[in-house]
């Protein structure tokens, strides 16, 4: 369940802020995902009641919502995510997948070490 709820009756800026936070994005991360500056995201969240038409579909896709929800034309409802990953973890996994083979293998080895240590710790404390 999202940590942030959409403000009822508020404008585009408040809806965008709530959806961004609910999806686990910082302004910087959302800007990077859709290829614009953080300043533009900050502007849309603080001063804009007029959404950027050219970005609406991309914002909706990245925030896992609909354009109608962004515009306030329909009540807040979430599309189910294909996996039960948090948006932040999903972004990290995509970044790992894009690495070249050697760094990817090194990173996966480090992750495996942390997982094994945690499993060992849990097994020891039972």
pLDDT digit string (tens) for 72-126?
887 655 555 555 666 677 778 888 888 888 988 898 889 889 888 988 888 876 5
Q: Please tell me the distance from the alpha carbon of residue 4 to that of residue 34, in angstroms, as a whole number.
A: 21
Q: What is the pLDDT of residue 84?
A: 61
Assigned CATH topology for domain 12-71: 434 Repressor (Amino-terminal Domain) (1.10.260)
User: Which structure tokens are listed for 50?
Assistant: 């007029």
**Domain-wise residue ranges, the chain:** 12-71, 87-125
Measured CA to CA, the distance from residue 31 to residue 27 in angstroms comes to: 6
Mean pLDDT of the 31-41 span: 91
Sign of CA dihedral 38, 41, 45, 46: positive
Tell me the DSSP string of 85-105: --HHHHHHHHHHHTS-HHHHH
Look at 99 and 8; give whichever has higher pLDDT: 99
DSSP 27-95: HHHHHHHHTS-HHHHHHHHHT-SS--GGGHHHHHHHTTS-HHHHHTSS---PPPPSSS--HHHHHHHHH
Query: Contact 98/37 with Cβ under 8 angstroms?
Result: no
Instruction: Give me the percent of the chain exceeding a pLDDT of 70.
Output: 81
């Amino acid at each position: 369940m999202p940590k942030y709820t959409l403000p009822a009756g508020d404008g585009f800026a408040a809806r965008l802020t709530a959806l961004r936070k609910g999806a686990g994005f910082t302004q910087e991360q959302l800007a990077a995902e859709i290829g614009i500056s953080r300043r533009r995201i900050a502007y849309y969240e603080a001063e804009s009641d007029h959404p950027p038409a050219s970005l609406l579909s991309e914002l909706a896709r990245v925030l896992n919502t609909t354009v109608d929800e962004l515009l306030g034309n329909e009540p807040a409802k979430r599309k189910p995510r294909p996996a039960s990953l948090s948006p932040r973890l999903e972004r990290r996994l995509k970044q790992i997948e894009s690495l070249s083979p050697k760094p990817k293998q090194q990173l996966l080895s480090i992750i495996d070490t942390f997982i094994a240590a945690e499993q060992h710790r849990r097994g020891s404390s039972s």
